[in-house]
Amino acid sequence: MNAENSEKVTRLMAITGREGNTSVEARRLRPLLGAGAWASVALLVAMLPGEAGLWAASAETPAAHKGAAGDREWEPPVHGASLGGPWRYNDRYPKAWMYGDTFYTAWAGDDRLYVVTDDTGGWEKLTPWAGGASGSNLMVGLLEGSPGDPDHFHGRDVNRMNGPGGFGGAAAVSGPDDRPWKAFGITAVAGKLYLCVARAWNFDHGPPPAGVPWCRNASIIRSADGGKTWVNHLGKDEAPPGDDAGCMFPGGRFGCAAFVQFGRDGHIPTVDGADQYVYLYSPDLTNFEGLFMARAPRPQAGRGDLPDPLLDRKQWRLYAGGDGTAQANWSADPGRSRPFYTGPLRSHGDMLYNAPLKCYLMITFDSYPKKTPAAYRLTAAPHPWGPWVKVWEHTFDGEYFGQPTMPLKYLSADGRTLWLLTSNDFTTAGDPPQKTKYCLHTMRLTLAP
C-alpha cells in the first residue's frame, strides 16, 4: 500500500471509529482507494472493538446498501443537510400561541393539512392544564399557510377529542391500567383520516420499569368527515379498548405507530406496492430492538363499509425481513416480525417518500431521558424496509427539540427542502405562553446533493 493510500486508510479508519459505522464521507473514499486497499481497510477496521467495525451488523453498513434484489449498491441522493434556526410559534403572543407536542400531519385530498397534537390546549389560545374543556390528551387540528411565511402560518382546532367516550383531558388517566391516551401517526387515504392512538405510561409513577413499554396497546381510528367524528375498529364512536385483548396491536412493539407518507390523500405511487398497501411502522418500546413495520390493504375510495382493512387487525401483516416486495416476507405471526432499522434511536420518528429524489427519508431522534439535548438523525433508503443509510445528524446545544416530523405538503418541488415541526422542553409547560418552550417550533431542513 503506497503512502497516498495509507493516508486515505488512516483517514477512513478515523471516520469509521468516530461514527461507529460507515458514513457518507467514508463511502466516498472507497473508489479512491482501489479494491486492494479497501479490502485491507475492511480487515483492519473489522478488528476494531465495539461498534467501530466497518462490517458490523447495522442498518448503515456498506453490505446493507444493496438494493432489494441484492445485485447492486444503492447510493443515496442526499449527502448531508443544513438546518435553519428554530422559529417559535408563540413568538407572536398574544396574537397566536399554543402548548403541546407530537405534530404528526396528514395531507388530505382537499389540500388541507391535518395535525395531531398531544397534551395540548389546542390552537385557540387555551392552557391545557386549566381543567374543564380546555386540555386534551390528544386533539386533531389544521395547519394553514406555510412555515416559510410565519406571519400567515397558524393552526386551528377541529376536534379536541376529550368529550364523553373520548380520550380525556391533558394528562388525564383512565382505565384499569391507569394510563393516559396519546396519539401518534395520522394519514389521509381515499378521502378518510386514520389516526394511531395508544396507552402511554403514567409518569406520575416515575419512569417505566425495565421491560415495560412506555406506550402500548395501539389501535387505529377513522374519520370520514374531516376529523369531526371518529370510529374505532369495532365501529363505535368512542375510544378503542385499551387492553391487550381488545386493542388492535397489543404490547409495545407498535406503541408509537406512524404511517409512511406517500403524498396528498395518500397519493398512489406505484413504488413498493403503495398503490395496494398502507405502511405502518413503530419503534419497539419494550426492548428498543429497532423499528418494526406492518402493512394492510389500501382502502378504496367510496367504500365506507366495515371492515375497513386498516381497522381490521386480521388484515395487517408484519415485515419478516428480506425483500419486502415478496409476499412471503410479510406474516401474520408476531413471532416472525423483524426490525427494518436498527440504528440508534430512543423514540419515534417520521418517514416519507420523496418522489423528486426517488427515495425514502426518515428522521429519528435520540433523547432519553428527555432532559438531555436531542440528537436528530436523517436516513435515506430505496424502499421503506431499507436498506437505510445515515446521511445527516445533528445534536442541539442543550435544547430538547423532540419528536420531529416532516410534513410532506411542505416538500419543495426539487425535493431538497423540507420543514420540521417539533416541540421543546416539556418542563416549561407551566410557564406563561409568551415564555414556554413547550409549543410548536419550525425549522427549515435543506438536503445536500
**How do residues 86-104 score in pLDDT, each as one tens digit?**
999 999 999 999 999 999 9
Query: 139 forms bridges with which residues in the sheet?
Result: 117
pLDDT tens-digit readout, 159-177:
999 988 899 988 899 999 9
CATH of the domain at 384: 2.115.10
pTM: 0.84
* 35 and 114, same domain (yes or no): no
Indicate whether 64 belongs to any domain.
no
Q: Considering the domain boundaries, does residue 61 fall inside one?
A: no
User: Residue 150 pLDDT more than 60?
Assistant: yes
pLDDT of 338-379, one tens digit each? 999 987 766 678 999 999 999 999 998 876 545 566 789 999
Tell whether 258 and 143 lie within a shared domain.
Answer: yes
169 occurs within a structural domain: yes
Burial of 352 (0-12, 13-18, 19+ CB in 10 A): buried
Question: Using CA atoms, how far apart are residues 376 and 24, in angstroms rounded to an integer?
Answer: 16
Pair 42, 127 in one domain: no
pLDDT band at residue 15 using 50, 70 and 90 as cut-offs: very low
DSSP, collapsed to helix, strand or coil, labels residue 441 as strand
Q: Are residues 278 and 185 in the same domain?
A: yes
pLDDT of 273 > 70? The answer is yes
259 and 385 share a domain? yes
Residues 155 and 269 in one domain: yes
For residues 119 and 35, membership in a common domain is answered with no
Q: Which amino acid is at 320?
A: A
User: Residue 67 falls within a domain, yes or no?
Assistant: no
Closest by Cα among 207, 291, 183, 198 to 244:
198
- Domain annotation covers residue 49: yes
Do residue 37 and residue 185 come from a single domain? no
- List the domain range (segments joined by +) for residue 8: 3-56
Residue 260 corresponds to which cell in the numbers above?
A: 409512511
Q: How many other C-beta atoms can be found within 10 angstroms of the C-beta atom of residue 246? A: 14
Per-residue pLDDT band at 310 (split at 50, 70, 90): very high
In a domain, 66, yes or no: no
Q: Do residues 98 and 201 both lie within one domain? A: yes
Claim to verify: residue 184 and residue 148 sit in the same structural domain: yes
Residue 55 is predicted with a pLDDT of 21
Residues 365 and 398 occupy one common structural domain: yes
In the chain, the percentage of residues whose pLDDT exceeds 70 is: 80
In whole angstroms, give the CA distance from residue 309 to residue 34: 51
Residue 329 lies in a domain: yes
User: How many structural domains is the chain composed of?
Assistant: 2
Q: Flag whether 371 is in a domain.
A: yes
Residues 45 and 85 in one domain: no
Tell me the pLDDT tens digit for each residue of 29-59: 334 334 333 333 333 333 233 322 222 222 3
Please determine, for residue 232, whether its predicted confidence score (pLDDT) is greater than 90.
Answer: yes
| Mean pLDDT along residues 17-21 | 32
Rounded to the nearest angstrom, the gap between the alpha carbon of residue 20 and the centroid of all alpha carbons in its chain is 23
